[in-house]
Amino acid sequence: MRVLRIGTEAIGYRLKEKVGSVEVLSDTLTRIRDGEIVIEPVLAQRLVERPSSQRRDVIAGLSARERQVLRLMAEGRSNTGIAGQLVVMPKAVEKHIANIFAKLGLPADAAEHHRRVLAVLTYLRSQPDVA
């Protein structure tokens, strides 16, 4: 939780057991340098409360592609990174993210809320606990 309190950009926390190659470490460091938040997905899931049926229902309302985009956002991927993973144009990713924000009912006030972080937290809270 202390890592998350540092800020909402350019932070990272990886478990050394999960960094199996130089490429993974390099990717993580590059993403942090570029201003992303990179948190070990298993740890991120443990940081949030148990899923509620309401949160699962909200996520279930997303299309399969929107859930893919949201999962990649939860891994800390940028729009360009998501586009590369899904082999689509970045504009398509932007459209999916706008739809996700709308379907999740996230506030539009960027000065008060970081919608990308709120969307990821909603996604992580909807996931069952990882053993």
User: In order of start, what are the domains of the chain with their CATH numbers?
Assistant: 2-126 (1.10.10.10)
CB count within 10 Å of CB 88 equals 15
pLDDT at 2: 56
Query: Mean of the pLDDT values across residues 95-100?
Result: 96
With 60 as the cut, is the pLDDT of residue 1 above it?
no
Q: What is the pLDDT of residues 41-74, one digit of tens each?
A: 776 666 554 444 555 677 888 999 999 999 999 9
Q: Which helix (H) or strand (E) holds 72?
A: helix 64-74
Q: What are the beta bridge partners of residue 11?
A: 37
Query: Does the reported pTM lie above 0.85?
Result: no
